[in-house]
């Protein structure tokens, strides 16, 4: 996937990601209220809403503060919103006409905050050449409508397993499992000691859905990278797919083998933070930048690495990687000019460096050129170089209901209230709906 270059970043600052960041589990975290710093006389004032997963300061909060410090005549009111209800909340606000001027969105159509359906409904303002220049080549369809760009990408996120190799080593696991049988063996050894290989926020739909998508990389998309297009063309369905059957069966098998922590079905996002920081779990399906914040709360020996989930025995590793967070402007905003200036600033070297220092996510503008061999990304460098990845599936699914059906379905598998066939039939019905 090539990249339209817009700004050059100081690579050393981006590669040496410090252990200071807000947790990015399936969204982003925030501090809770607008900050008066740099508000000046309010000559330019606008609001900014983004998703949160805890009460730590979000990268977006940090960006707003930095912008106000640089532009003392500007006041930005920040509105952190809980991630598990963010999509529903932002759509309700847009429909009611009381949404913020600047909002966090996601590419495509498959998430409740997906920018394509929001733009089609007339809720988003077209952006300029800067945003268009940051769109990865080949991904225009999940950022643009009729040549107009409606979301400025902020990241290149790896959706694999964030694993503490320090915790693994302390528990006799010297290398990350590369086969399914090795993975299940590791699960059994850890479970016998009251620990888990993986920690899953089963009660949080976004994490349940992301986990299933991460597993689908090897069970579905490694074999059929164009599976989503086949589904769109009516050549297959979720229910007919051996790969999706295997993906959901894997979740059941992992749960039965003790790979998840006890009480997984009722766990929230805090289970992930606590489990990885305290060493009771080794890894979790969370966005790659999450390792940075968690490391700040954990002992220095945690040694987080981004690891591919093992393929079925005999298969090759494959991951999900794409831009997962975008910034959009409310079409009904009365503060479009200062809002647009802020969004434009987000593409500068200064803002990009700050965002990636705080989030730990790869920079959308220069990720292909970075030397990642000595970073948390070192285990997947060759996969990126070989193109052994595909975009997050829900980014290209036709509507948010498909991903919602997957999230609810995974939760149902964990509680025993759903069967695999029921989940896949629900996803097919949502696709057609």
Q: Are residues 287 and 415 in the same domain?
A: yes
Residue 171: pLDDT over 50 = yes
> Stretch 32-61: mean pLDDT, rounded?
68
Residue 100: pLDDT over 90 = yes
Residue 395: pLDDT over 50 = yes
> Stretch 163-168: mean pLDDT, rounded?
96
Q: Are residues 167 and 302 in the same domain?
A: yes
What pLDDT, on a 0 to 100 scale, did the predictor assign at position 56? 65
135/329 Cα distance (integer angstroms): 16
What pLDDT, on a 0 to 100 scale, did the predictor assign at position 54? 64
Q: Are residues 223 and 331 in the same domain?
A: no
Q: Are residues 278 and 351 in the same domain?
A: no
What pLDDT, on a 0 to 100 scale, did the predictor assign at position 371? 84
Residue 300: pLDDT over 90 = no
Q: Is 208 part of any domain?
A: yes
Residue 35: pLDDT over 50 = no
Could you give the number of structural domains in the chain?
Answer: 2
Residue 27: pLDDT over 50 = no
The percentage of the chain sitting over the pLDDT mark of 90, rounded to a whole number, equals: 68
pLDDT bucket at 55, cuts 50 / 70 / 90: low
pLDDT bucket at 33, cuts 50 / 70 / 90: very low
Q: Are residues 149 and 264 in the same domain?
A: no
Q: Are residues 151 and 171 in the same domain?
A: no
What pLDDT, on a 0 to 100 scale, did the predictor assign at position 52? 82
Least Cα distance to 353 among 2, 4, 1, 8 occurs for: 8
Task: Please name every residue paired with 70 in a beta bridge, in sequence order, or none if there are none.
Answer: none
Read out DSSP for 337-357?
Answer: HHHHHHHHHTTSHHHHHHHHH
Residue 40: pLDDT over 90 = no
Residue 20: pLDDT over 50 = no
Q: Is 1 part of any domain?
A: no
Q: Are 247 and 413 in contact (CB under 8 A)?
A: no
Residue 290: pLDDT over 90 = no
Work out the mean pLDDT of the chain and round it to a whole number. 87
What pLDDT, on a 0 to 100 scale, did the predictor assign at position 298? 80
Q: Is 349 part of any domain?
A: yes
Query: What CATH number does the domain containing 35 carry?
Result: 3.40.190.10
Q: Are residues 400 and 274 in the same domain?
A: yes
Per the structure, the complete domain to which residue 280 belongs is given by 160-321+385-432
307/162 Cα distance (integer angstroms): 6
Q: Are residues 100 and 148 in the same domain?
A: yes
Residue 176: pLDDT over 60 = yes
What pLDDT, on a 0 to 100 scale, did the predictor assign at position 244? 98
Q: Are residues 214 and 256 in the same domain?
A: yes
Burial label for 386, CB within 10 Å (0-12, 13-18, 19+), is exposed
Residue 64: pLDDT over 70 = yes
pTM of the model: 0.78
Q: Is 124 part of any domain?
A: yes
Q: Are residues 292 and 166 in the same domain?
A: yes
pLDDT bucket at 215, cuts 50 / 70 / 90: very high
Q: Is 374 part of any domain?
A: no
272/178 Cα distance (integer angstroms): 22
| Predicted confidence (pLDDT) per residue in 112-126, tens digit | 899 999 999 999 999
322/396 Cα distance (integer angstroms): 11
Q: Are residues 140 and 257 in the same domain?
A: no
Q: Are residues 334 and 205 in the same domain?
A: no
What pLDDT, on a 0 to 100 scale, did the predictor assign at position 8? 36
User: Token pair of 319, please?
Assistant: 């991951």
Residue 409: pLDDT over 50 = yes
């Amino acid at each position: 996937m090539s990249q339209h270059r817009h700004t050059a970043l100081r690579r050393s600052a981006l590669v040496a990601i410090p252990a200071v960041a807000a947790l990015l589990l399936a969204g982003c975290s925030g501090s809770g209220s607008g900050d008066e710093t740099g508000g000046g006389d309010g000559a330019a004032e606008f609001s900014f809403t983004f998703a949160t997963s805890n009460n730590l300061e979000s990268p977006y909060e940090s960006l707003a503060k930095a912008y106000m410090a640089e532009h003392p005549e500007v006041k930005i009111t920040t509105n952190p919103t809980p991630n598990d209800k963010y999509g529903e909340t932002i759509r309700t606000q847009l429909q009611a006409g009381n949404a913020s001027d600047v909002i966090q969105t996601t590419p495509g159509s498959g998430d409740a905050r997906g920018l394509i359906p929001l733009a089609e409904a007339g809720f988003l303002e077209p952006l300029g050449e800067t945003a268009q220049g940051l769109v990865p080549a080949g991904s225009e369809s999940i950022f643009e409508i009729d040549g107009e760009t409606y979301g400025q990408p902020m990241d290149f996120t790896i959706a694999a397993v964030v694993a503490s190799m320090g915790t693994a080593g302390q528990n006799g696991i010297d290398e990350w499992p590369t086969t399914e049988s090795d993975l299940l063996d590791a699960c059994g050894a850890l479970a016998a000691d009251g620990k888990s290989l993986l920690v899953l926020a089963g009660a949080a739909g976004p994490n349940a859905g992301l986990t299933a998508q991460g597993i689908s990389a090897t069970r579905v998309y490694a074999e059929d990278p164009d599976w989503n297009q086949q589904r769109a063309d009516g050549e297959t369905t979720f229910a007919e797919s051996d790969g999706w059957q295997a993906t959901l069966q894997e979740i059941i098998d992992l749960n039965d083998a003790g790979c998840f922590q006890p009480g997984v079905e009722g766990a929230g996002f805090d289970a992930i933070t606590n489990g990885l920081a305290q060493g009771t779990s080794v890894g979790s399906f969370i966005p790659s930048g999450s390792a940075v914040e968690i490391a700040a709360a954990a002992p220095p020996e945690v040694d987080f690495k981004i690891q591919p989930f093992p393929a079925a025995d005999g298969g090759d590793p494959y991951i999900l990687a794409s831009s997962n967070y975008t910034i959009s402007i409310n079409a009904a905003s009365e503060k479009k000019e200062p809002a647009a200036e802020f969004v434009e600033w987000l593409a500068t070297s200064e803002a990009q460096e700050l965002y990636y220092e705080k989030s730990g996510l790869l920079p959308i503008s220069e990720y292909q050129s970075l030397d990642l061999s000595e970073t948390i990304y070192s285990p997947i460098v060759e996969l990126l170089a070989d193109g052994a990845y595909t975009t997050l599936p829900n980014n290209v699914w036709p509507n948010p209901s498909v991903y919602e059906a997957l999230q609810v379905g995974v939760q149902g598998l964990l509680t025993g209230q759903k069967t695999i066939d029921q989940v896949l039939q629900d996803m097919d019905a949502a696709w057609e709906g």
